[in-house]
């Protein structure tokens, strides 16, 4: 019985169709509008091994997928924010950052399915990637038929963007007074960066990802401080006051960070 071909790394070049062919002059990343469900599925391939990228691009395009490719983590995060892929194929061994950091960066603002392609085979490494937010894990070398089947399954399982309200898969959330860049983990107000502590940022991120929805005190405490927390509501009062002071035009009459007494907090864009 013929075994499916397995793809391993060999020196080569990025395909000429890739916007990140190292031998070409790259134009700036062009953003695309989020599309309807009937449009072609867009795949973001993140890998620094040109032969694997070439094989993936050829096979995906032959099956009518739209493909973007990134050779490192920073480019991947920029492309994801600009191009809104439907699924990400991600190598963990990237030259500028660990792939797990890319997963965490994406999960700060998007639910796009992430399939890890990696030579790392230990259980701990797989668990780390899955816990960070990956949806599936395929070890190298891999069979193309199996990979494509897993990709199709991930796309089928993915919830349509915006189905349950809140913030759709967008990296920039704008209000009249400030802008939250979820991909870059930055906040801008009146043309300047606003310095936030890691805890302030995490609290802001949870609220912004649930824009327009009540987030309970318990959920905020557990997401920001950890699962052992749930009753320390004074923590929330202190940090919400700090966020309002840094971001609200009138902190004593907040417009964006609304308290629901006894229940939790809600972020409103307008």
Q: pLDDT tens digits, residue range 112-158? A: 999 999 988 888 999 999 988 999 999 988 899 999 999 999 888 87
The count of domains in the chain is: 2
Which tokens is 63 given?
A: 């099956």
Task: Tell me how far apart the alpha carbons of residues 19 and 116 are, in angstroms, rounded to a whole number.
Answer: 21
Same domain, 107 and 147: yes
Q: Is the pLDDT of residue 31 over 80?
A: no
* Boundaries of domain holding 242: 172-267
Q: For residue 45, which phi and psi values (nearest 5 degrees)?
A: -100, 125
pLDDT for the residue numbered 29: 61
The helix (H) or strand (E) run that includes residue 105 is helix 99-107
Chain-wide mean pLDDT for the chain? 84
The highest-confidence range among 7-16, 58-67, 164-173, by mean pLDDT, is 58-67
Closest CA to 196 of 226, 224, 217: 224
Closest CA to 74 of 110, 55, 48, 51: 48
Same domain, 81 and 113: yes
Same domain, 137 and 23: yes
**Within-domain flag for 166:** no
Q: Is the pLDDT of residue 25 over 50?
A: no
Q: What CATH number corresponds to the domain at position 208?
A: 1.10.10.10
Task: Tell me how far apart the alpha carbons of residues 109 and 210 are, in angstroms, rounded to a whole number.
Answer: 10
Q: Comparing 3-12, 47-56, 198-207, 209-218, which segment has the lowest mean pLDDT?
A: 3-12
User: Which of these three, 111, 132, 157, is where a domain ends?
Assistant: 157
Same domain, 18 and 138: yes
Same domain, 139 and 192: no
Same domain, 116 and 198: no
**Within-domain flag for 164:** no
Distances (CA, A) of 19 to 9, 35, 65, 67, 75: 20, 20, 16, 10, 11
Same domain, 140 and 26: yes
Which tokens is 1 given?
A: 């019985």
User: Which of these three, 132, 157, 182, is where a domain ends?
Assistant: 157
Q: For residue 70, which phi and psi values (nearest 5 degrees)?
A: -130, 135
Same domain, 59 and 107: yes
Decide: 257 and 235 in contact? Cβ < 8 Å.
no
pLDDT for the residue numbered 30: 59
Task: Tell me how far apart the alpha carbons of residues 214 and 10 are, in angstroms, rounded to a whole number.
Answer: 51
**Within-domain flag for 261:** yes
Q: Band of the pLDDT at 111, cuts 50, 70, 90?
A: confident
Task: Tell me how far apart the alpha carbons of residues 248 and 23 are, in angstroms, rounded to a whole number.
Answer: 47
**Within-domain flag for 1:** no
**Within-domain flag for 18:** yes
């Amino acid at each position: 019985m013929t075994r499916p071909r397995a793809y391993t790394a060999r020196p080569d070049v990025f395909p000429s169709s890739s916007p990140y062919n190292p031998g070409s002059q790259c134009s700036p990343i062009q953003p695309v509008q989020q599309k309807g469900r009937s449009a072609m599925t867009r795949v973001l391939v993140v890998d620094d091994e040109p032969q694997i990228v070439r094989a993936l691009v050829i096979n995906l395009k032959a099956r009518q997928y739209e493909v973007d490719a990134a050779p490192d983590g920073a480019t991947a995060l920029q492309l994801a924010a600009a191009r809104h892929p439907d699924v990400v194929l991600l190598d963990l061994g990237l030259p500028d950052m660990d792939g797990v950091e890319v997963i965490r960066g994406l999960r700060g603002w998007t639910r796009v399915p992430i399939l890890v392609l990696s030579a790392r085979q230990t259980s701990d490494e797989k668990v780390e990637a899955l816990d960070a937010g990956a949806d599936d894990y395929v070890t190298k070398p891999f069979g193309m038929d199996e990979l494509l089947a897993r990709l199709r399954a991930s796309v089928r399982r993915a919830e349509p963007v915006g189905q349950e309200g809140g913030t759709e898969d967008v990296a920039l959330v704008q209000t009249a007074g400030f802008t939250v860049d979820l991909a870059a983990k930055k906040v801008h107000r009146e043309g300047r960066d606003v310095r936030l502590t890691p805890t302030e940022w995490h609290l802001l991120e949870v609220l912004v990802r649930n824009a327009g929805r009540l987030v309970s005190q318990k959920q905020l405490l557990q997401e920001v401080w950890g699962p052992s927390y749930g009753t320390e509501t004074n923590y929330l009062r202190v940090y919400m006051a700090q966020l309002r002071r840094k971001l609200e035009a009138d902190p004593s009459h907040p417009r964006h960070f609304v308290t629901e007494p006894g229940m939790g907090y809600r972020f409103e864009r307008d």
